[in-house]
Structure 1
Amino acid sequence: MSTESVPSPKPQANSEYAQRIDWVIDYLRGNLDRQVGLAELASVACFSEFHFHRMFRAVSGETLKNFTNRLRLKKAARLLRYSEQSLTDIALDCGFSSSATFSRAFRAGYDTSPRQYRKSGEIKKSKICKELFPEDEYGLSMSAEEKRAAFPVRLIDIPERQVAYIRVTNAFEMDRVLTAFKTLIEWAKSQDIFSEGILFGMTVDDPHVTPKHLYRYEVCLASSFPFECMEGMSKLKMPAMRYAVIKVSGDLHKVATAWDYLYRDWLITSAYEPEHAPALEVFLDKESAMDWSHFELELCLPVRKHAEMRS
C-alpha cells in the first residue's frame, strides 16, 4: 500500500456545494478514459475556474488530482481482476497515457504491479482490505456446488430510469447509511412514489482499495413518475443496462457469500465482463430496508459480453 497520507473527513458541506461536487464526481466517473480539463469540470460544477480546486478539496476532502487518480486505479484494478483486456488497453481505458505510466501509478498506489495483481487477484499489503474484511467475518464455508444451487443467476435488461439518491461518505459507519435510507424513504412517501419506486443501494467504491473514511455508498430510489429532490439529495439518469442478478435472503454473511459467488465463480466462467458502472443491491421488502439483521435483496452486477468490451 502506498504510504501517502489520506485526508481526514470534512465537516458537512453546504448542500448546494455538495451537490455541485456530486455532479463533478459523476462526470469524472463517466469520463475516466480521457483527460478532462479544469474549465470543463468547473463548468459542470458551475464554479469559477479560479476557485474550483479549492472548492473540490473543501467538499470532498481530497485534491482533484488524487481523487481522479484513485478513481482510475480502482477502475483498473477491477478490469485487471475481471476482464481479459491487455495492460495497454486497460491503461488507455483508465486515462493513462501508456502502460508504463499506468504500471508506475498502480505500483505507487497499491505496492504491487498490475501483472502481479492480475495473477494473484489481491493486493497483498492492503491494510484496508484486512481491516474491513477479516476472513473470519465472511463465514464463506459453502462449496462451489452449494453456492451454485443456492444462488442461481439470471440476466435481465433494465431500462433507463430517473434516480434520486443520497451519497453517504464514511459508509462503513452503519448509522450514516441507515439515516440516509430513513430520509429517502420518508421523502419518497411524501412524494407518493415509494410504493411503485425501486429502492436500492449502489456501491460506488471498491472496499478492498478505498480508505475506510472515504468509502461511499449511494442510497437510491428509481421512479417512473416525476419528482423533485429535497435538499441534500441529487438526481441522475441511469442508462439502460444488462445485469446479472442473484436473489438472496439472509444476513450480511449470506449477502457477502452471494456477492463472492457472483464475482469469483459465476463471472469468471461466463461470457460476460462487468460494465464500468456500480453494482446494485435492490431491496425487495422496502418496508424492512431499515432492518439490517435480515435482508431480502436482488444483487445486480452490470455486465456486457466479452466481445463488446474489446470492440
Structure 2
Amino acid sequence: MRSRSTPSVSLLEYQRRIDQAIRFILARIDQPISLDEVAEAACFSKFHFHRLFTALMNEPPGEYIMRKRLERAAIRLVYADTPVSTLAGDYGYSSVAAFSKAFRQWFGGPPTAIKAIRGRLESEKGKLQTRYGKTLVADELFGAAAGAGNPARRESIRRRVILRRLKEFELHYLPSARGYEVGGIWETWATLREQACAVAPEADCDWFALSHDHPGLTPPDRCRYDACVALPKKARAALPLPRLAVPGGDVAVYQVAGPEASILPQYLDFYTHWMPHSGFEPADYPLIEHYLPGCRPGHIRVQLWVKVQPMRMAPGRVS
C-alpha cells in the first residue's frame, strides 16, 4: 500500500522538474527555444510535458515563453530605452511590426506608450488585463518620483552604485509558495533558515534571494521568489534542497534598507535614475538580492545585485 505522503512527494518532484524547465527557458529567453528541449531539461516525456507544465503553472509553456520575452523587453524599454528594433531581434520577432503587434496585444498599447505613462496606461485592454486583471500603472514602473530629470537625485544614486565582476557561485533555493506576498516570503525564510542552520552554523551561511519578476509588469499570482543560501563547501551535500549556479558577469550593486513597503520604491529609484544614464542595460537574469545582517520582519537590509551588460544599440530608433 502506498504511503499517504507519496502524492505530496510526487508533487514536490514534479514542481522541482518544472522549476528546471523554467530556469532552462529563462537562461535562453533571447534564443530560439524548442519545447522538446525544455521537456528534456525537465526530464519529462515530450508527450506529457505540455500537460504537466500547464497544470502546475496554470499557463501553457508557449504562452509562458511569450510572456517572459515581452516582460523582459518592457524592462529594457522602460529602464534602458533600448531601441524597439533591437528588442524585436533579440526576442525572436521577424520584424518591428510583429513585435509591436505582440506587445500591444499583451500590454494594451504600443512599445512607445509604456514610456509615456502618466498614471495608468490609457489604451485598449490587452491580455495582461483581460486575462490576469493587471493594469500598467506609472508608480509601479517608475516610482512615485518618476522625475528622471532630477539631476541631484540621479547623482546621489550614482554615487551609491558599485560595479563589480561576479564569479559563478552556487546556491540552495526554496521557492515561496505565495510569490511576493510578504507573509509567504517570511514563512519561506523561516523554513530555509531552519534547514540551513541544521547543517551549518548561521555565521557561515550567506543569504540571497532571486526575484524573477517585475511586480509592475507581472500578474501577482505569476511572480516568483526564491529564498537562497550559500553554504560552506563541506555542508552543501547535507542540505536536501535543489541547487542552482549563479553565472558570473558584471553586476551593479546598490544597497537599500527600511520597512518592506519601502524596498520596491528604492529599487525603482535605482532603475529609473541610474540605469538609463549608465551606459548599461539589465541582462536577462533575475534580480539578485544579497541580505545583510540585521534583517527582520519590518526592517530589511539588502544589496541589489543587478546583472548588467553594455547597452546594445541599433542603427536608428524605430518605434
Shorter-chain TM-score tier: 0.7 to 0.9
* Equivalence for 1:185: 193
Q: Distance in 2 between matches of 1:182 and 1:132?
A: 34
| 2:309 corresponds to 1:304 | yes
1:73 Cα deviation after fit: 0.7
**1:94-105 mapped onto 2 (5 Å cutoff):** 94-105=91-102
The gaps in structure 2 that reach 5 residues or longer are 1-7, 123-128, 315-319
Q: Distance in 1 between matches of 2:237 and 2:41?
A: 20
Cα 1:265–1:248 shift into 2, 3 Å = same
1:224 Cα deviation after fit: 4.8
* Equivalence for 2:244: 236
**Deviation by residue 1:191-231 (Cα, 9 ceiling, x = unmatched):** 21642332122210111121111111111112351513756
TM-score normalised according to structure 2 size: 0.81
* Equivalence for 1:145: 152
Cα 1:38–1:259 shift into 2, 3 Å = closer
Cα 1:61–1:229 shift into 2, 3 Å = farther
Q: Distance in 1 between matches of 2:10 and 2:80?
A: 37
TM-score normalised according to structure 1 size: 0.82
* Equivalence for 1:24: 21
* 1:229/1:235 contact within 8 Å kept: no
Tell me the C-alpha RMSD between the 2 structures: 3.2
Query: Which of 29, 41, 58 is the aligned partner of 1:61?
Result: 58
Cα 1:130–1:13 shift into 2, 3 Å = farther
**1:82-231 mapped onto 2 (5 Å cutoff):** 82-120=79-117, 124=121, 128=134, 145=152, 148-149=155-156, 152-192=160-200, 194-225=202-233, 227-228=236-237
Q: Which moved more, 1:120-129 or 1:293-302?
A: 120-129
SS in 2 for 1:128: coil
Aligned pairs, number: 294
* 1:170/1:212 contact within 8 Å kept: no
Cα 1:146–1:113 shift into 2, 3 Å = closer
AA paired with 2:203? Answer: S
1:121 Cα deviation after fit: 8.7
1:13 Cα deviation after fit: 7.6
Q: Which moved more, 1:105-114 or 1:37-46?
A: 37-46
| 2:41 corresponds to 1:34 | no
* 2:140/2:216 contact within 8 Å kept: no
* 1:161/1:224 contact within 8 Å kept: no
Q: Distance in 1 between matches of 2:103 and 2:146?
A: 32
Cα 1:165–1:123 shift into 2, 3 Å = farther
* 1:251/1:295 contact within 8 Å kept: yes
Q: Distance in 2 between matches of 1:45 and 1:278?
A: 20
Q: Distance in 2 between matches of 1:101 and 1:124?
A: 21
Indicate the percent of aligned positions where both proteins have the same amino acid: 26
Cα 1:262–1:162 shift into 2, 3 Å = same
The gaps in structure 1 that reach 5 residues or longer are 1-10
**Deviation by residue 1:285-306 (Cα, 9 ceiling, x = unmatched):** 1xx54x2311122122221222
| 2:277 corresponds to 1:280 | no
